[in-house]
């Protein structure tokens, strides 16, 4: 995940299973009072379904507090069952410089 403060970064989550064919999805990033939610229509899913990307706006990037812990999770519905990734606790300093969340 590449984030440069003040830009419009794209965050990419690398998954250990494919979510191809999911009928609903929600990406959630929370850090203190900042909550960023994206639905399936706002997500880019790789052809094999193992990577999910979301583009943040400049105002969202600027709203992330420095040197705090952000929590990130992806929830999807596939074949009538809801799946969720583990909640990733990532320091915002690291979040601002990582290429991919695993």
Alpha carbon distance 75, 69 (integer Å): 20
Q: What percent of the chain has pLDDT over 90?
A: 57
Mean pLDDT of 69-90: 93
Q: Which residue has the higher pLDDT, 83 or 97?
A: 83
Q: Is the pLDDT of residue 11 over 90?
A: no
Q: Is the pLDDT of residue 62 over 90?
A: no
Which pLDDT belongs to residue 1? 46
Residue 77 burial class via C-beta count within 10 angstroms: exposed 0-12, middle 13-18, buried 19 and up: middle
Beta bridge partners of 30: 35, 71
pLDDT band at 92 (very low <50, low <70, confident <90, very high): confident
Alpha carbon distance 81, 48 (integer Å): 19
pLDDT tens digits, residue range 14-55? 999 999 999 999 999 999 999 999 999 999 999 999 999 988
pTM across the whole model = 0.82
Which pLDDT belongs to residue 100? 57
Alpha carbon distance 73, 64 (integer Å): 16
């Amino acid at each position: 995940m590449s984030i440069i403060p003040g830009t419009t970064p794209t965050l990419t989550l690398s998954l250990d299973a494919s979510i191809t064919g999911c009928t609903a999805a929600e990406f959630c990033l929370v850090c203190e009072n900042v909550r960023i939610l994206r639905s399936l229509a706002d997500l880019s899913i790789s052809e094999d379904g193992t990577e999910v990307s979301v583009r943040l706006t400049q105002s969202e990037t600027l709203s992330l507090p420095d040197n705090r812990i952000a929590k990130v999770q992806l929830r999807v519905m596939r074949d009538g069952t809801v799946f969720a990734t583990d909640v990733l606790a990532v320091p915002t300093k690291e979040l601002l410089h990582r290429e991919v969340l695993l």
